């Protein structure tokens, strides 16, 4: 998988790709990352990348020429995403879809926005990670990449480990326990100590539905796994 990120703040990504699972994905050859400094494609001696909006209004707009130059300089840009507050909400299904691609390029939005012609000419989809506004698209880009890279076969080491994640089947994840068996008066549920895998599977499914109903009831209407008696075999 090749990931290209176009940003005005390339140093923000140094720690993200040098630690934990993303770092191991690069080391093991599952992931190749190219961070493109948009400022290098700025216009004139001052490397200008933004300008005031036509029609008036506050803030600055990222110009189309630098972004177009950066995109056209990437040999394998594949699927192009623009991070934007107006974008479609990024979900687990999107992470799964993106994990199957050979190359993804993310343009990090900034300032008041990006010239609309960038989207019209280059962008395949605009994505947002939530109904709020951040100072730039760098943090959303990190979230999106982390979410889909971990789904690439071989990245986690055990390809079944993500199948119980929250949102993997539209439900929140069931509770987890480890040693000790009792902690400050709270004991591990007996079913998890039974060794009966069918009972454990049924309990985990029941707990997933219960947690989802308690914390995110909106997901139950959308989830194919929202009914407790669904056959997952």
Kindly report, residue by residue over 172-191, the tens digit of the pLDDT.
999 999 999 999 999 999 99
Residue 146 or 224, more confident: 146
Q: Where are the domains of the chain?
A: 2-149, 163-233
Residue 225: pLDDT above 90? Answer: no
Looking at residue 105, its pLDDT comes to: 98
**Catalytic-role residue among 51, 65, 94, 112:** 112
Banded model confidence at residue 157, pLDDT cuts 50, 70, 90: confident
Residue 141: pLDDT above 90? Answer: yes
Q: Which of 137, 154, 155 is nearest to 146 (CA)?
A: 155
Distance, CA of 167 to CA of 172 (rounded, Å): 6
Residue the block writes with tokens 């189309």: 64
For 203-225, b/e burial (b = at least 16 CB within 10 A) is bbbebbbebbeeebeebeeebeb
**Catalytic-role residue among 66, 150, 169, 204:** 150
Residue 152: pLDDT above 80? Answer: yes
Distance, CA of 124 to CA of 48 (rounded, Å): 25
Looking at residue 226, its pLDDT comes to: 47
**Catalytic-role residue among 53, 85, 125, 216:** 85
Half-sphere exposure of 24 (CA within 13 A, CB side): 8
Banded model confidence at residue 227, pLDDT cuts 50, 70, 90: very low
Q: How confident is the prediction for the chain on average, in pLDDT?
A: 91
For CA atoms 84, 85, 89, 91, give the dihedral sign: positive
Would residue 159 show up in a list of annotated catalytic residues for this protein? no
Superfamily of 163-233 according to CATH = tRNA(m1g37)methyltransferase, domain 2 (1.10.1270.20)
**Catalytic-role residue among 94, 146, 165, 206:** 165
Residue 195: pLDDT above 70? Answer: yes
Looking at residue 170, its pLDDT comes to: 82
Banded model confidence at residue 229, pLDDT cuts 50, 70, 90: very low
Q: Give residue-wise pLDDT tens across range 101-120.
A: 999 999 999 888 999 999 99
For the residues 48-72, what does the mean pLDDT come to? 96
Would residue 150 show up in a list of annotated catalytic residues for this protein? yes
The CB density around residue 187, as the number of other CB atoms within 10 Å, is: 11
Looking at residue 111, its pLDDT comes to: 87
Can 2-149 and 163-233 be said to share one CATH topology? no
Looking at residue 162, its pLDDT comes to: 53
Largest Cα separation within the chain, whole Å, is 71
Q: Which helix (H) or strand (E) holds 147?
A: helix 138-149
Could you please state the CATH topology (level 3) that the domain comprising 2-149 is classified under. Answer: Alpha/beta knot (3.40.1280)
Banded model confidence at residue 221, pLDDT cuts 50, 70, 90: confident
């Amino acid at each position: 998988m090749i990931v290209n990120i176009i940003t005005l703040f390339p140093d923000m990504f140094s720690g993200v790709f040098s630690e934990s699972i993303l770092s191991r994905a690069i080391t093991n050859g599952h992931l190749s990352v190219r961070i493109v400094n948009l400022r290098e494609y700025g216009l004139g001696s001052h490397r200008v990348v933004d300008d005031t909006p036509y029609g008036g209004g506050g803030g600055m707009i990222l110009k189309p020429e630098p972004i177009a130059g950066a995109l056209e300089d990437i040999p394998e840009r594949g699927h192009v995403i623009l991070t934007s507050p107006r974008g479609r909400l990024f979900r687990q299904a999107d992470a799964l879809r993106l994990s199957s691609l050979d190359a993804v390029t993310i343009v990090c939005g900034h300032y008041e926005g990006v010239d609309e012609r960038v989207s019209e000419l280059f962008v395949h989809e605009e994505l947002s990670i939530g109904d709020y506004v951040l100072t730039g698209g760098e943090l959303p880009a990190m979230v999106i990449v982390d979410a889909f890279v971990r789904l690439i076969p071989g990245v986690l080491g055990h390809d079944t480990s993500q199948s119980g994640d929250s949102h993997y089947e539209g439900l929140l994840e069931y509770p987890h326990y480890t040693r000790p068996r009792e902690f400050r008066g709270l004991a591990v549920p007996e079913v998890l100590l039974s060794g009966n895998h069918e009972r454990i599977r049924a309990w985990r499914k029941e707990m997933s539905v219960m947690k989802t109903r308690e914390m995110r009831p909106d997901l139950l209407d959308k989830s194919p796994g929202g009914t407790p008696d669904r056959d997952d075999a």
